Amino acid sequence: MANLGIGIIGAGNISSAYLRLAPLFKGLEVRAVADLSMEAATARAEEFGVKAQGVDELLANKDVDVVINLTIPDAHYAVTKRILEAGKHAYSEKPLVLTLEEGKTLRDLAASKGLAVGCAPDTFLGGAHQQARAIVDEGRIGTITTAVACVQNHGPEGWHPSPEFFFLPGAGPMLDLGPYYVANLINFLGPVRRVGAITSSATPTRTIGSGARAGQAIPVKTPTNIHALLEFHSGAVVNLTTSWDVWHHKRNHFEFYGTEGTLYVPDPNFFGGTVEVADREGNLTEVAPWDHPFGVPNQEHPKHGALANYRTAGLADMVAALQGGRDARCSLERTLHGVDVMTACLTSGETGGFVTLTTTCTRPAALSPDEARALLR
């Protein structure tokens, strides 16, 4: 597989993960890093031995074929639009956009130029999630009728020095953390037909807990507690909770309830974890991990210990799809449907009624251990 030149716009903390992990994958060669701050771009480029450029210079760089958008979420749409207008494929950190209308504009622009757009998260490609997907596809728990998925904590104001954006319209826990959960639900169950939600906020303000502005109050202008019901085209009904109003809980996993048993799937913020299956008699079994390369721990986390982290797997799959003429697993179609799901939940919370979605998608192809190995160098 020939390498495609990769450029990165946005030299913040997350860029180091992409720069560190991209060399694991075939077809990817990071050639330049850009940022509004040339100082930040230069520091990151020197750290990883690539070229530092201004944003305009990178977009004009003929050695760059695909640009990764790692800017702040509020800038994702505008920057991805510029990438496409420059004639380059785009891969964005989540969320791709903050409104469905923005997503449709990018879809139409990409189609008119024959370009691809992909988007994180790609954690559903992890070894644990793909093993759980195989269990579902084999019919071990029968037909999935219902499921529960939760992401709950007390928000980013305790650790982020400038967390205002997280609490403004277009953010909140649904759009910040929801993409991991919605993408994985689509991986298991396919597209959503309609949603209903109740939303709230525990407090009108939050207090910054770190940095130079510690102690400063900031306004909360978007729901921080969303309890949603998702009805899938498959007939499954899922209870999805995203909340920044919770101090502690024990619900970090998915629970899928089928006609023949129950499947417990680990936190989709990560690539690995423990998969468990219960049969009709209630016998619970921990599934022995299969030999999937994206489940092998390769990073030590200060809180969670040894973790599997294969961020950029979705980008590598998109590049392989471009070169092989097939559908990318982290495709624009699925990302746009995910945005539709999340924004519809927020709309339902405002209106008090169910919202029927205007987009759909297919399930992504499963990623077998051999197919995953084929993406690695």
Q: What is the pLDDT of residue 302?
A: 84
SS3 for the chain is: CCCEEEEEECCCHHHHHHHHHHHHECCEEEEEEECCCHHHHHHHHHHHCCEEECHHHHHCCCCCCEEEECCCHHHHHHHHHHHHHCCCEEEECCCCCCCHHHHHHHHHHHHHHCCCEEECCCHHHCHHHHHHHHHHHCCCCCCEEEEEEEEECCCHHHCCCCCHHHHCCCCHHHHHCHHHHHHHHHHHHCCEEEEEEEEECCCCEEECCCCCCCCCEEECCCCCEEEEEEEECCCCEEEEEEECCCCCCCCCCEEEEECCCEEEECCCCCCCCCCEEECCCCCEEECCCCCCHHHCCCEEECCCEEECCCCCHHHHHHHHHHHHCCCCCCEHHHHHHHHHHHHHHHHHHHHCCCEECCCCCCCCCCCCHHHHHHHEC
> Please, which pLDDT band fits residue 2 given cuts at 50, 70 and 90?
confident
Q: What is the pLDDT of residue 293?
A: 97
142-183: pLDDT as tens digits: 999 999 999 999 999 999 988 998 999 888 999 999 999 999
Burial class of 46 by CB neighbour count within 10 A (0 to 12, 13 to 18, 19+): exposed
Q: Is 27 in contact with 65 (CB distance < 8 Å)?
A: no
Q: Is 43 in contact with 11 (CB distance < 8 Å)?
A: yes
Q: What is the pLDDT of residue 1?
A: 65
73-111: pLDDT as tens digits: 889 999 999 999 999 999 999 999 999 999 999 999 999
> Please, which pLDDT band fits residue 23 given cuts at 50, 70 and 90?
very high
pTM over 0.85: yes
Give the rounded percent of residues in the chain with a pLDDT score beyond 90. 94
Q: Would you say residue 52 has pLDDT above 90?
A: yes
Task: Please name each of the domains of the chain with its CATH number.
Answer: 4-119 (3.40.50.720), 125-295+332-371 (3.30.360.10)
Q: In this structure, how many other beta carbons lie within 10 angstroms of the beta carbon of residue 11?
A: 26
Give the rounded percent of residues in the chain with a pLDDT score beyond 70. 100
Average pLDDT of the residues in 126-141: 98
